Structure 1
Amino acid sequence: MPVREPARLSAARLLRRTLRRHLGRLGGGIALLSLHQAAEAAVPLAIGLIVEQAVATGDLTALAASVAGLIGLFTVLTFAWRFGARLTETAIHRETHRLRVEVADRALDPRGHRTGLRSGEMLAIAAADAERTALIIRATAVAVAAVAALTVSSVVLLTIDVPLGLGVLLGVPALVLALQALAPVVTRRTADQQAAAGTTTALATDLVNGLRALRGLGAQHNAARRYRESSQHTLAVTLRATTMGGVYQGITAGASGLFLAAVAGAAGWMAVGGRISIGEFITVVGLAQFVAEPVRALGFCGQLAAAVWASAGRVARVLAAAPAVLPGQRPAPRPTPVRLALTGVSYRSLSDVDLQVRAGELIGVVAHDPRDAQALLDLLRGGVPADDYRGTVSVDAVAVSELTIDALRERVLVEPHDTALFEGTLRSNLLVHAGGDADQLPAAISAACVDDIVALHPAGLDHPVTERGASLSGGQRQRIGLARALVTDPPILVLHDPSTAVDPATEQRLAVGLRAARHGPSRGAGVDRVDAPATVVVTSSPTLLTQADRVVVLDGGRVTVTGRHHDLAQNDPTYRTAVLR
């Protein structure tokens, strides 16, 4: 796949891009909402004219025409709002969907990402922040419509009385600018609240996923305490943000009320003095009451923009994150006698590791330190940037960093210890990999000892599996994961502790089945074939290690000894203590 660098994206650029992507609907929505607000502003003017030209004169014809005009005005007002809001909301929902897809695409990018965010935080960004970022469309449309309403109101007021109109024209912007002084505080507290909520969501996700393990260790109380502390912190931050939002709205409402009282008082004084007519007085008072609505709308837009800016920053952080790994451009190479090789590799706890896995070999790796095992697995799955480790990791004599992602996946499959199952059926979980062959299902099921799971249920392979395989035991999930890997049948298969949750008898059958499925007579065992598969099992299980052609021991981050399991168990006390139980 071609290397695609993420665009340099900031919150401001993301919001501008959001508006550009919906210019048609946004423009139509703004036009209709502005027409609605202009019609709203025209209502006090129309009532004033009706009072002067129809009610005060008693002209029934003028009254009938005025009522018809008022009906038409309210018709325009209603439909303009309905269709303007529809266009705006459609744009918001479409943008929310697009942003969620982009965040999900970045989270699922096989090259990884350098955001430093956990899965729960990514979920919060994809769900809440993406939706909130799209609200910039609503904020823009409402703000422009509010400005249109204030413009119409100011023009009418200037026509009635210049000083009065200037008072509204100058007073409203001054009021809005004064209210915006609180916006940075709202933005900061909103950002803190969103970050805290994301952290708590991530912690909750980790807690739920690892609940069984925590109970087994008796650590559920400590985990619950950590979540409780994080939740309480999130609550406190949320209350501060909500309080600030309430203060902002209260100040906005109070200031607009005072402004309304000032305008109405000035207009009343002018009407008493005969400077304006009774109809104009009604228009001025009506407009003064109406002006409070767009002022509040502008205040709402300011508060909304503060929340939008904070969310846009979080979304932009994900979309602009550099990929963790930049894959090469070389396609899958031809098979070689050495299928997998590590030469002078140093990474994390590993130091100058040399390891070769030849075609047709089943290699056992015993790591005294779990960190060594995890570092090795990360390297073999190609998830480590080339700049982060020293040495060479190669597949069929080609460095992993030079291969495309598709080429690496075609050659190497790393089946992790924590087997991930999906909601569906046993069949759909066994054939989840693109390379899965349905014809190989029976042999893989037998080799991984899954046949008893299939036979246990009347539906067989069509038996439903709940999310994350919660309806299955840990041993059943492990065996299904192994069967899935055997169905895929990759040239290089890497397994991490595939039998820790099964009983000894099943483990023995599983070990023999694995050997037969990957390196039995049907796979050309004993024949010098460069295209023969290779298997690496990272484990301390003596049952599995007995089936290995040789065992490589990692101690202190280095390869300290290599040999057959039987010989090492007899001659190496440290190895014997680590694997015999």
Structure 2
Amino acid sequence: MKSSILAPPAPPTSTPGAFLLWGARLQWRTLVWGLVFGVIWMTAIALVPWAIGRGIDGGIVHDDGSALIRWSLVLAGLAVLVGGGGAARHWFAVENWLSGAFRTIVVADEAVTSRGQEIARVLPTGDVVSVASNDMEKIGGVYDVTARFSGAIVSYVVVAVLLLRQSVVTGLVVLIGSPVLLALLSLIIKPLQARQAAQREEAGRLTTLGTDTVAGLRILRGIGGEDEFVGRYAAQSQRVRLAGVRVAGYQAALDASQTLLPGLFVVLVVWIGARSVISGDLTPGELVAFYGYATFMSFPLRTVTEMVDKFIRFRVAAGKVQGLLRVESDHLPQPAGTPFPDGADLVDPDSGARMPGGRLTAIVSANPEDSAALAGRLGRLGADSAVTLGAIPLADMPIEQIRAHVLVNDPDSRLFHGSVREQLSAGRSIPDTRLVEAVDAAWARDVLLAQAAGLDGIVEEKGRGYSGGQRQRLGLARALVINPPVLILIEPTSAVDAHTEARIGASIAQERQGRTTVIATVSPLLLTHTDHVVLLVDGQAVAAGRHADLVREHAAYRSIVLRGGDDE
């Protein structure tokens, strides 16, 4: 059971029903046990009116003490079944809920981890966040209610048999009236579903807006745009509130109907039953039993209604999860190929650039987008990379192999909530001495000094407690700790001062000696420490060589790296 939750097979993305059956197959044992105890529990409850009625007729009306004792013992046995069966049913219901909810988190996490870039292009951030905060609970809820739903169906059949055996007319009133009540409730359920879906959409937009606002809060304050975004957030909050009010009206009507309609139904049954007793068609005990049946029938009716309501919520939630899962990776799966050609040259046919293996190479361009695009192709971040490593196209390598050997570090390195140690080790088991060495190589010791607990100090989400330069250097330290065979750095010192930048350039050259490293930069303080430089003009490699030679011999290069300085 645990293995199916921790590593479930790929779920279907066709329909919510297929997703429901997929989850049911993976936890069928607990679902079956929940069904068994749900049937025992609710059937025992359904039989209580029958036992009470028989006890009244046999023990009280006919003044039979032994019959009274016998039916009292039957009631005691039913009470044991109700208590024991209810406890066991609840146990498996909770396990079913947790299994369905947790499995949703697992498959969503796998999708975001493996296709995060692609998902971010297709879906708003709010939709992704809502899967973990909302949808998983609704998906687990439908598995939770299955035990009670199965008990409701079986107990309904048991009561139907008992009713028809005692009075066909009164039995038909109860049996036909219950589905009629359910049909009346369905008039509310359909518009409720549409309004729940609309609320889910508005809430997702609000989460996306909030995430984007928090991420850019420093910039917004700097340009005086904070009030504008606060206004937008407030307006979207009102749209979510109005959508919630529209849902609440129908939800309140559904909840009220679940109490009012069964109550009216009980009154009708008792009135018919009382007339049958007066006419001699029913005994007093049978009337009490009929009253108990009518009261009990509201229980499975509410359970069926709850199942319908939870399935509606499930359909909306499962549709969102499947939308996330339907986002395809830019990289088609490839069979395992030859071992990674460590130390081989990287060649980009699109630009004509060649990055020698085992050396520190810089990409220089007047247009930063061209340098970043080439860096992305070198790391196969997109679907259209024609780059080769040695004689092997990256497109022919399994993406897992590339991610394990090639690391692209952009200037806006993502930091997550946790300790500094967790940020640097990235889930690996790395000695603290090595972590500190990488911090020093990135000239980020001030980050540790700012933390009283050092490596155990807590980093806020997205590193909000640090300056831009501190976040950038901590991200660089993490890349140096991982120490991949191929490291690609995009503007790694754009947020630091010149003095620190020069020291970082020397550290990178020393740390990465003998390993393939590519830096997209125009900083002469970094270029001084490189072994090889590729100059891009309009995205094409037009010159290559050592930094000093290009400064002396190439006017375009000199203009870029010296910021239009002396042309001599």
Shorter-normalised TM-score: what interval?
0.7 to 0.9
TM-score by length of 2: 0.86
SS at match of 1:204: helix
Q: Deviations over 1:155-185 (max 9, x none)?
A: 2221121122122222322332343344332
Tell me, yes or no, if structure 1 residue 409 matches structure 2 residue 411: no
Q: Deviations over 1:413-466 (max 9, x none)?
A: 211111233455544543437597877656644432234545666765555544
By how many angstroms is 1:411 displaced? 3.8
Q: In structure 1, what is the equivalent of residue 355 of structure 2? A: 357
Tell me, yes or no, if structure 1 residue 340 matches structure 2 residue 346: yes
Q: Deviations over 1:3-25 (max 9, x none)?
A: x9875542111111222222222
By how many angstroms is 1:543 displaced? 2.5
SS at match of 1:135: helix
Relative to structure 1, is the Cα distance of residues 153 and 578 closer, same or farther in structure 2, using a 3 angstrom cutoff? Answer: farther
Q: Does the aligned pair in 1 maintain the 2:89–2:147 contact within 8 Å?
A: no
Among 202, 216, 228, which residue is 1:196 paired with? 202
Relative to structure 1, is the Cα distance of residues 442 and 247 closer, same or farther in structure 2, using a 3 angstrom cutoff? Answer: closer
The residue type equivalent to 2:361 in the other structure is I
Which 10-residue stretch deviates more, 31-40 or 11-20? 31-40
Q: Percent identity?
A: 28
Q: In structure 2, what is the equivalent of residue 212 of structure 1? A: 218
Q: Does the aligned pair in 1 maintain the 2:416–2:461 contact within 8 Å?
A: yes
> How many Å separate the matches in 1 of 2:321 and 2:426?
30
> How many Å separate the matches in 1 of 2:492 and 2:211?
24
Q: In structure 2, what is the equivalent of residue 260 of structure 1? A: 266
Among 368, 371, 388, which residue is 1:394 paired with? 388
SS at match of 1:45: helix
Alignment of structure 1 residues 24-63 onto 2, 5 Å: 24-63=29-68
> How many Å separate the matches in 2 of 1:333 and 1:44?
74
The residue type equivalent to 2:25 in the other structure is R
Which 10-residue stretch deviates more, 168-177 or 56-65? 56-65
Alignment of structure 1 residues 39-438 onto 2, 5 Å: 39-109=44-114, 113=118, 116-329=122-335, 330-335=337-342, 339-344=345-350, 353-385=351-383, 389=384, 392-432=386-426
> How many Å separate the matches in 2 of 1:423 and 1:267?
66
> How many Å separate the matches in 1 of 2:65 and 2:11?
70
Alignment of structure 1 residues 463-502 onto 2, 5 Å: 463-502=457-496
Relative to structure 1, is the Cα distance of residues 578 and 65 closer, same or farther in structure 2, using a 3 angstrom cutoff? Answer: farther
Q: Does the aligned pair in 2 maintain the 1:25–1:91 contact within 8 Å?
A: yes
Superposed CA RMSD in Å reads 3.2
Q: Deviations over 1:209-250 (max 9, x none)?
A: 332343344433333333333322222222222322222333
SS at match of 1:536: strand
Runs of 5+ unmatched residues, structure 1 = 345-352, 524-531
Q: Does the aligned pair in 2 maintain the 1:568–1:576 contact within 8 Å?
A: no
Q: Deviations over 1:33-62 (max 9, x none)?
A: 222222222222222222222223344443
SS at match of 2:413: coil
Relative to structure 1, is the Cα distance of residues 236 and 379 closer, same or farther in structure 2, using a 3 angstrom cutoff? Answer: farther
Relative to structure 1, is the Cα distance of residues 426 and 175 closer, same or farther in structure 2, using a 3 angstrom cutoff? Answer: closer
SS at match of 1:392: coil
Relative to structure 1, is the Cα distance of residues 373 and 204 closer, same or farther in structure 2, using a 3 angstrom cutoff? Answer: farther
The residue type equivalent to 1:566 in the other structure is V
Q: Does the aligned pair in 1 maintain the 2:93–2:145 contact within 8 Å?
A: no
By how many angstroms is 1:506 displaced? 1.3
SS at match of 2:280: coil
> How many Å separate the matches in 2 of 1:182 and 1:24?
34
Runs of 5+ unmatched residues, structure 2 = 1-8
Q: In structure 2, what is the equivalent of residue 527 of structure 1? A: none
Tell me, yes or no, if structure 1 residue 543 matches structure 2 residue 528: no
> How many Å separate the matches in 1 of 2:470 and 2:540?
34
Q: Number of residues paired by the alignment? A: 552
By how many angstroms is 1:86 displaced? 1.2
> How many Å separate the matches in 1 of 2:564 and 2:250?
60
Relative to structure 1, is the Cα distance of residues 464 and 127 closer, same or farther in structure 2, using a 3 angstrom cutoff? Answer: closer
Relative to structure 1, is the Cα distance of residues 442 and 102 closer, same or farther in structure 2, using a 3 angstrom cutoff? Answer: closer
> How many Å separate the matches in 2 of 1:6 and 1:287?
42
> How many Å separate the matches in 1 of 2:464 and 2:143?
41
> How many Å separate the matches in 2 of 1:41 and 1:310?
34
Tell me, yes or no, if structure 1 residue 17 matches structure 2 residue 2: no
The residue type equivalent to 1:258 in the other structure is L
By how many angstroms is 1:99 displaced? 2.1
The residue type equivalent to 2:386 in the other structure is T
Q: Does the aligned pair in 2 maintain the 1:331–1:404 contact within 8 Å?
A: no
> How many Å separate the matches in 2 of 1:367 and 1:448?
24
Relative to structure 1, is the Cα distance of residues 281 and 177 closer, same or farther in structure 2, using a 3 angstrom cutoff? Answer: same
Q: Does the aligned pair in 1 maintain the 2:12–2:22 contact within 8 Å?
A: no
Which 10-residue stretch deviates more, 212-221 or 238-247? 212-221
Relative to structure 1, is the Cα distance of residues 52 and 325 closer, same or farther in structure 2, using a 3 angstrom cutoff? Answer: same
By how many angstroms is 1:558 displaced? 4.7
Relative to structure 1, is the Cα distance of residues 14 and 406 closer, same or farther in structure 2, using a 3 angstrom cutoff? Answer: closer
